Structure 1
Amino acid sequence: MYDAIVIGAGPAGLQAALTLGRMHRSTLLLDSGEYRNGTVLHMHNMVGEDGAPPAEFRATARAELDAYADVEIRDTGATGISGSEGAFRVALADGSTVEGRRVILATGVADDLPDVPGLQDLWGTLAFSCPFCDGHEHADKPIGILGAAPRAAHLIALLGRIVGDITVFPVDEVFSDEDTRMLEGTGVRVSSTPVTSVEKDADGVRIRTDDDEHAVAGIFVASGAMRQRAPFAADLGLAMLDSGSIEIDDFGRTSIPGVFAAGDLAHRASLPGPMASVLLAAAAGQLAAVGIIQSLLAAEH
């Protein structure tokens, strides 16, 4: 019986395991090998690690965890969770079952991209969603923004002072006249026809529409959606927020006693949504671990 089972080994799960290990709490960390930033070459806006490859970050964190006898890492995912606080059972993808007094969900989210040929191949290297993570690398360079006029306007406001020329491309259907006027009012160009494909070229990305081609340094996606990467929130019946994220309190507690959540799959109700940030995910992992330690102490005394 582990004190805690941490499901997911991205920044949130790794930090949660480190905090639990340092407090000598028996911890099992499950690493499925699937990560939201799995295609990203360099992570940014992370103090001390700005520009570091995510794979190196994960490898360093795992090496650090090797120093803690109370932390065990298994390279397998979870397939199901049953039981209740103090006696959870987690079924693993390798066919085995483990038990834990508490559980942290740190499986993150997956990005559902718009159906544009070639876009998935560029995701994380030449196509992005977060100006805080990838805007600076496109300073004074031309970029394209794909789809969803209101979200595109938000990206323009953030990126306009950083990048060079901006062209906004509709996806599937042309923008309405009202949306076109709104976007053009921000000083950007707006394509009159939807994007038909994107592909890497020598200098960045080539964006094709029915009647034109555009060369840009990179793409920012203003459409698409995030979804829970794993089914556990739905399976457990956790309280959810309008953003599609798990509702948690300040210490990562969910609506079910003993189940905690950390990372971009969850946030507090006071926030409009999760923020794609390695630093914030790690901080959430630490808070969830502290919440578990508090709850274990309360149960033991």
Structure 2
Amino acid sequence: MYDALVIGGGPAGLQAALTLGRMHRTVLLVDSGQYRNGSVAHSHNFVTHDGRSPDELRRLAREDLSHYPSVELREGTVEGVSEIDDGFEADLGGETVRSRTLVLATGMTDELPDIPGLADAWGAEVANCPFCHGHEFADRPIGLLGDGPSIGELEAMLAPIGSEVLTFAKDDLSKVERTERGLLAHRTEGEPVELAGLFLHPSTAQAAPFAEQLGLDILPSGCVRVDALNRTSHPRIFAAGDLAHVEELPVPMPSILAAAAAGQAAGASAVRWLANPEAEHEGNPLTD
């Protein structure tokens, strides 16, 4: 039986495994190879790694993990997870593995509006986070798709970056088309508009069913409810990255750096539980 099973090979899962490994805990990390930022060419706003590709960041992280004998990494998909008397049992497609604790780092999936061309440009000219993508659109027109208070806030944030910021309702656009310099936004009425890029807030959903299967508390954001130490409503389960949300924060904070920080907290919390299960259970406000 492993001390911890980490599901998800993005920054949250990799950091959680590293934290556990440094404390000489036996860890199995299962990586499906599917990532929310899989279409992103360059990561930004990560000190010392600004502009590095997500693939390269994962390669470097795996290299770090290779120095810790108690950490095992496997490529594959977890088909299901169930609770047993002394921990958890996971189906790895014909093979069963067991662990005392579980770290969920499976992320979220983005559900884009049904506008032709958006999916093709997602992660490049079409993005969600201005901190990750805004600077690359500097001094050119930037588009926003959607409405509501969050779009107004996004418009104010991008105002110092773009030459102008143009807001479109979802039914204003018939399609978007990638060009050498950015995007051509085709409007349902009027001439097309040239943009450096377009921002929107997509709908999101859990990328894996494990949180629901295990009965974890889910917030209105669709994310797993965690405390500041990335403990869930189950004393043996920890969650980190995009799928987790500290309730006191107004919205989830998806970024590579934030995911890694959450992974460190989740890994450390798992170590504490393994060292003293009763004390850690008593200190968790989500399970009291």
Fold similarity call, TM over 0.5: yes
Q: After TM superposition, give the deviation of residue 139 of structure 1 in Å.
A: 1.5
SS in 2 for 1:3: strand
SS in 2 for 1:78: coil
| Alpha-carbon separation, structure 2, partners of 1:167 and 1:124 | 19
**Is the aligned partner of 1:288 residue 2:287?**
no
**Is the aligned partner of 1:71 residue 2:71?**
yes
Give the letter for the 1:164 counterpart: S
| Alpha-carbon separation, structure 2, partners of 1:140 and 1:41 | 21
| Alpha-carbon separation, structure 1, partners of 2:130 and 2:117 | 21
| Alpha-carbon separation, structure 1, partners of 2:218 and 2:254 | 18
**Is the aligned partner of 1:249 residue 2:249?**
no
Q: Give 1:276's aligned residue.
A: 254
Q: Give 1:117's aligned residue.
A: 116
How high is the TM-score relative to the length of structure 1? Answer: 0.89
Aligned-residue CA RMSD in angstroms? Answer: 1.4
**More divergent stretch after superposition (141-150 vs 197-206):** 141-150
Q: After TM superposition, give the deviation of residue 243 of structure 1 in Å.
A: 1.2
| Alpha-carbon separation, structure 1, partners of 2:61 and 2:85 | 28
Q: Give 1:162's aligned residue.
A: 161
| Alpha-carbon separation, structure 1, partners of 2:86 and 2:269 | 14
| Alpha-carbon separation, structure 2, partners of 1:231 and 1:280 | 23
Q: Give 1:188's aligned residue.
A: none
Answer yes or no: is the 8 Å Cα contact 2:232–2:239 preserved in 1.
yes
Q: After TM superposition, give the deviation of residue 13 of structure 1 in Å.
A: 0.2
Q: Give 1:44's aligned residue.
A: 44
Q: Give 1:97's aligned residue.
A: 96
| Alpha-carbon separation, structure 1, partners of 2:22 and 2:250 | 33
Answer yes or no: is the 8 Å Cα contact 2:89–2:99 preserved in 1.
yes
SS in 2 for 1:135: helix
Specify whether residues 69 and 244 from structure 1 end up closer, same or farther in structure 2 by C-alpha distance, changes over 3 A only. Answer: same
Residue ranges of structure 2 left out of the alignment (5+ in a row): 280-288
Answer yes or no: is the 8 Å Cα contact 1:7–1:106 preserved in 2.
yes
Specify whether residues 85 and 273 from structure 1 end up closer, same or farther in structure 2 by C-alpha distance, changes over 3 A only. Answer: farther
SS in 1 for 2:69: coil
Q: After TM superposition, give the deviation of residue 41 of structure 1 in Å.
A: 0.5
Find the partner of 1:207 among 181, 185, 209: 185
SS in 2 for 1:290: helix
| Alpha-carbon separation, structure 2, partners of 1:243 and 1:290 | 25
Answer yes or no: is the 8 Å Cα contact 2:173–2:185 preserved in 1.
yes
Answer yes or no: is the 8 Å Cα contact 1:6–1:27 preserved in 2.
yes
**More divergent stretch after superposition (122-131 vs 245-254):** 245-254
Residue ranges of structure 1 left out of the alignment (5+ in a row): 173-193
SS in 2 for 1:89: strand
Answer yes or no: is the 8 Å Cα contact 2:87–2:236 preserved in 1.
no
| Alpha-carbon separation, structure 2, partners of 1:195 and 1:278 | 30
Q: After TM superposition, give the deviation of residue 300 of structure 1 in Å.
A: 9.5
The percent of aligned pairs where both chains have the same amino acid is 49
Answer yes or no: is the 8 Å Cα contact 1:245–1:267 preserved in 2.
yes
Tell me how many residue pairs correspond in the alignment: 278
| Alpha-carbon separation, structure 2, partners of 1:73 and 1:163 | 43
Q: After TM superposition, give the deviation of residue 85 of structure 1 in Å.
A: 6.8
| Alpha-carbon separation, structure 1, partners of 2:148 and 2:25 | 49
